[in-house]
Amino acid sequence: MDGFQNITVNSNKSEMNGTVEWRSPSNIALIKYWGKSGDQIPMNPSISMTLKYAFTQTEIEWSPRENSNEKVFDFYLSGDKVSSGFESKVKALIGRFALKYPVLNKLFFTIKSLNTFPHSTGIASSASGMSALALALLSVVKETSDFGGNYDDFTKEASYFSRLGSGSACRSLYGPYAIWGSGTSGIGNDEYAVPFHPHNDFLRIFDSILIFSKKPKKVGSTLGHSLMNDHPYRNGRIEQVHKNMERLLPAMEQGDFDTWQQVVENEAMSLHGLMMASSTPVMLLAPETIRFLNDLEDFRTGKGLKVAYTIDAGPNVHLLYALEHREIIQDFISNWVMDSKLNMDVIDDETGMGPKQLFE
């Protein structure tokens, strides 16, 4: 199914010049999406925390295009024209949009995008970038056609197309948390994300991201997900995820931080364990990562602190903690960085509420 059937378009509308701009955040998975099939369909459900300050801001200016053989778009990232890499993903996503919304075949796009965070820092730029692009493109459709659908329909449609650009991007459409993938108490959907609203204690969680390496990932997402295709622990992983979702969601609804911490950290270590146990073993944790986690465990033992860690496919650590322990955790991080004598950055973020349209 290409998009949602309850959305209709009448192409008689004639707004053939204009500008739209969206800001869309990144997200950090608490239960990890790892493994996919078909058209970006996840092997397992996942849940993520939407970030607030780590976002992509994307502006699209559109104008008439004389014929379908002309160039479709120019893409600028932080002011620099991009001619490869991410551009191919942009082209593919525009193509998917145009299949359902052929009005886009009549337009030329100037796309200007910037991130509020550096590349290769453990923050998913593809999630924020593709969700911002999908929102902007769908806004172009809305401005150039009689778009039949309410705000919820618009957001679901944007989540659907975000997924086609980058799987985890579909979760960035919602805050403070989003679920993607079916099979968990009937809540999730494989084609788009849905919002999840927890207990008040989880509405504001801080995220300090310790950047141990700024090098590009050793393994790209496509290759990484493919490692699960014939993984010896594939079936066990699917079973594990569903059990973890069954534990995590009630914990978040009840304000149970201890269970939340256990599941989130189990997921982080499971992701890296799966990579190390794949047919082509991959080690992404750095020595500094392991040292920090050991020191964190020593520091928090017996203190009753509401703090947990998670790690995506790289060496950088997201330290998640409650407002009531913000000062002591940030002091611990500052002292650890000073004592380690590492030349490293720490990026501070927190729970966010999702995308925002800047103007239309």
User: Does 78 reside within a domain?
Assistant: yes
Please report how many Cα atoms fall inside a 13 Å half-sphere around the Cα of residue 145, on the Cβ side: 23
Same domain, 129 and 249: no
User: Does 231 reside within a domain?
Assistant: yes
- Is 50 exceeded by the pLDDT of residue 7? no
Same domain, 237 and 277: yes
Question: What pLDDT does residue 324 have?
Answer: 96
Question: What pLDDT does residue 223 have?
Answer: 79
Same domain, 206 and 298: yes
* Interval 259-284 mean pLDDT: 95
Residue 7 DSSP class? -
174, 197, 220: which is the final residue of a domain?
197
129, 163, 197: which is the final residue of a domain?
197
User: Does 158 reside within a domain?
Assistant: yes
Question: What pLDDT does residue 6 have?
Answer: 44
- Is 90 exceeded by the pLDDT of residue 112? yes
Least confident range of 147-156, 196-205, 294-303, 320-329: 147-156
Same domain, 21 and 160: yes
Question: What pLDDT does residue 14 have?
Answer: 54
Q: Residue 141 — very low, low, confident or very high, per pLDDT cuts 50/70/90?
A: very high
Q: Residue 227 — very low, low, confident or very high, per pLDDT cuts 50/70/90?
A: confident
CATH of the domain at 160: 3.30.230.10
The pLDDT tens digits for 177-225 are 999 999 766 788 999 999 999 999 999 999 999 999 888 777 777 778 8
Same domain, 206 and 253: yes
Least confident range of 89-103, 181-195, 257-271, 286-300: 181-195
Contact predicate 31/259, CB 8 Å? no
DSSP result, 186-209: T---SSSEEEE---GGGSSEEEEE
DSSP result, 29-48: EEE----EETTTEESS-EEE
Question: What pLDDT does residue 49 have?
Answer: 99
- Is 50 exceeded by the pLDDT of residue 3? no
User: Does 97 reside within a domain?
Assistant: yes
Question: What pLDDT does residue 87 have?
Answer: 84
Contact predicate 89/130, CB 8 Å? yes
User: Does 358 reside within a domain?
Assistant: no
User: Does 132 reside within a domain?
Assistant: yes
Same domain, 313 and 344: yes
CATH of the domain at 311: 3.30.70.890
Full strand arrangement of the beta sheet holding 317-322: 307-311, 317-322, 205-211, 345-350
Same domain, 182 and 166: yes
Q: Residue 354 — very low, low, confident or very high, per pLDDT cuts 50/70/90?
A: very high
* Interval 79-106 mean pLDDT: 88
The DSSP bridge partners found for residue 348 are 208
User: Does 328 reside within a domain?
Assistant: yes
**Of residues 213, 173, 208, 171, the one with CA closest to residue 188:** 171
Same domain, 75 and 130: yes
As a whole number of angstroms, the distance between CA 192 and CA 32 comes to 16
Question: What pLDDT does residue 331 have?
Answer: 98
Least confident range of 1-5, 143-147, 322-326: 1-5
Q: For the chain, how many structural domains are there in total?
A: 2
* Interval 329-356 mean pLDDT: 96
Same domain, 114 and 210: no
Q: What percent of the chain has pLDDT over 90?
A: 75
In the block, tokens 């504001």 appear at: 204
Least confident range of 42-51, 144-153, 187-196, 326-335: 144-153
Domain of 340 in residue numbering reads as 200-350
Same domain, 159 and 97: yes
* Interval 280-286 mean pLDDT: 92
**Of residues 5, 52, 56, the one with CA closest to residue 166:** 56
* Interval 332-345 mean pLDDT: 95
169, 197, 225: which is the final residue of a domain?
197
What's the token pair of residue 16? 């053939």
- Is 70 exceeded by the pLDDT of residue 63? yes
User: Does 5 reside within a domain?
Assistant: no
Same domain, 229 and 180: no
Least confident range of 10-14, 62-66, 152-156, 313-317: 10-14
Same domain, 59 and 141: yes
Question: What pLDDT does residue 83 have?
Answer: 63
As a whole number of angstroms, the distance between CA 356 and CA 360 comes to 11
* Interval 284-311 mean pLDDT: 97
